[in-house]
Structure 1
Amino acid sequence: MNALTWIHIAGGVIALVAGAAAVSARKGGRLHASAGTWFAVSMLVLGATAAVLAQAQGDAGLGLGGLLTCYFVATSWVTARRRDGTTGKFEIAACALAFAAAAGIVWSGLAGESTTSSGAGPILALAAICVLAGLGDLKAIIARKLTPVQRLSRHLWRMCVAFFIATGSFFLGQQDVMPEGARGSPILFVLAFAPFAVMLFWLVRLRFAKAIARSKQSGLISIGRRAQTHV
């Protein structure tokens, strides 16, 4: 178990570095693809080892969190790999897993088996995320083929949720190993929730990509006309 713990820690460190690199790199470029692959693999290691360690410790909540990490990473990675946007049996299995996880979380939260220092609120919020993910899987199954915007949006938000699991677990969940002066710092909360800010930025940009392109084109045309007028 000590060896598995170190593997778990190593996976988390690599995930944080690779995730930051993937977010910062030009989307679709070689660095983005390479960092994204490292992030996906390290997050799968992180989630799988968390599930095994939780089983040994009798912590059902941590085990479920590990499985959900693997779920979000796997569905995001498969979506990115299928450039034609097709969906199939994998999405059906993922959909069933998401709804089953949501039901299990709700039951555990209402029964008082899972709780946090803030009460059952965060537990139910996690269940809501699982429901949204399951509905997204169901929508993809019904559509059978996603548009480029739908495919990229699905890849983006799922990978950012997985990234938040890594940043939240480290910056908020491991404050006891940080310098005493840094504990409880607002900066830690900013770093923990940064993946959601990135997610919102790119989702908005994806949704309004055509409008942004038209606006830039209109601006260039306007500048060109003014230049011709001055000549």
Structure 2
Amino acid sequence: MAILYIAPESSPLVHAAAAALLYLHIGAGSVGILSGAAAFVFRKGTPLHRLIGKIFVISMLIMSGIGAVVAPFLPTPERASVIAGILTFYLVLSSWMTVKHKPGQLGRFDHGLLPISLSVVAASAYLFWLAMQNPRGMLDGQPGAAFVMFLIIGSLAAVGDLRLILNRGVTGATRLARHLWRMTVALFIAANSLFLGQPQVFPKAVQKSGVLMLPGLLILALLLFWLGHVSYGAFKRRRLHKPAGLQGTSA
């Protein structure tokens, strides 16, 4: 996130508040990335994993909330950061609520998710269209591909929200997958916002090496691994519970 511009004649209190917001945003984002990485390491469902998960949720909500609110007021407004902040906030909160609810339970909060995901889709499509009007395919210094990514993620989330409402909740592997992919994609957005969105904070040798792409790629690889693991586990359970008369039959 760029530095929030404050007029020199503003009071020291205003300058202090702006600095506090910046440091809180950076600090929360750093804690979010570190705790998100740690959540992959510790065994799922253990007290330590749950504690790290709570730290991740709180830090990511603070980071994304500040980013979404402050981005329109930067010297050069960053509309991509607004979408990224809203989408990350939404993904983390909806993922957390998925595991807070009992399996097959649908709360009042869940009905408000679909309008948010649809709004992200509409805003991303519009901003991508604006970027395409630029000969360089850019908007606010961001490539149009960034808005395509938000459009795809928002669309997948909207489909999931619609299924959640129609099915009156989610259970089993579907519930776990919903929690997993939303948390991981939120971590992916946060990591790319740091490593690819703020390359100037790293040494020039690191910027030119291509290393800054690795965290995002690693997160995607972990997401694919765990989604595959969840799907395979669900498949095995279905096989175990298949009626005995159907075991071993083939067409």
TM, length-normalised to structure 2: 0.79
Alignment of 1:36-47 (within 5 A): 36-47=53-64
Change (3 A) 1:142 1:6: same
2:188 aligns with 164
Gaps of 5+ in 1: 216-231
Q: Is the 8 A contact 2:79 2:140 kept in 1?
A: no
- The one-character-per-residue Cα deviations of 1:130-149 (angstroms, maximum 9, x if unpaired) are 01101100001100131211
Aligned residue identity for 1:99: L
2:80–2:146 contact (8 Å) kept in structure 1: no
Query: Which residue, out of 57, 65, 73, partners 1:48?
Result: 65
Note the residue ranges of structure 2 that are not aligned, 5 or more in a row: 1-17, 240-251
Higher mean C-alpha displacement, 113-122 vs 96-105: 113-122
Secondary structure of 1:84's partner? coil
2-side partners of 1:135 and 1:56: how far apart? 32
Query: Deviation at 1:48?
Result: 0.8
The 2-side partners of 1:201 and 1:3 are apart by 38
1:144-155, aligned counterparts within 5 Å? Answer: 144-155=168-179
Give the equivalent residue in structure 2 for 1:187. 211
In the TM superposition, 1:20-35 aligns within 5 A as: 20-35=37-52
TM-score if structure 1 supplies the norm length? 0.86
Q: Match for residue 108 of structure 1?
A: 127
1:224 aligned partner? none
Among 133, 139, 154, the residue aligned to 2:163 = 139
Once the 2 structures are TM-superposed, how far is the Cα of residue 121 of structure 1 from its aligned partner?
2.5
Which residue does 1:11 correspond to in 2? 28
Deviation at 1:173, TM superposition (A): 1.5
1:51 to 1:116, Cα distance in 2 relative to 1, 3 A:
closer
In the TM superposition, residue 55 of structure 1 has moved relative to its aligned partner by 2.6
SS at match of 1:184: helix
Deviation at 1:212, TM superposition (A): 5.6
Contact 1:69 1:162 in 2 (8 A): yes
Return the letter of the residue paired with 2:216. Answer: A
Aligned partner of 1:76 in structure 2 is 95
Residues 25-58 of structure 1: CA deviation (Å, up to 9, x unaligned): 1011111111111001000000111012213213
1:67 aligns with 2:86: yes
Instruction: Please identify which structure carries the higher helix content.
Output: 1
1:157-187: CA deviation from partner (whole Å, max 9, x where unpaired):
0000100011111111221111121113333
Q: Deviations over 1:78-123 (max 9, x none)?
A: 0011132312332221111111111111112102386377842331
**Among 84, 87, 98, the residue aligned to 2:117:** 98
Equivalent AA in structure 1 for residue 186 of structure 2? A
Letter in 1 for 2:120: A
What RMSD over aligned residues (CA atoms) do the two structures have, in Å?
2.1
Provide closer, same or farther for how the CA distance between residues 128 and 214 of structure 1 changes in structure 2, counting only shifts above 3 A: closer
Separation in 2 of the partners of 1:213 and 1:96? 35
Identity of aligned residues (%): 33
* Distance in structure 2 (CA, Å) of the matches to 1:29 and 1:184: 40
Structure-2 separation of matches of 1:211 and 1:79: 22
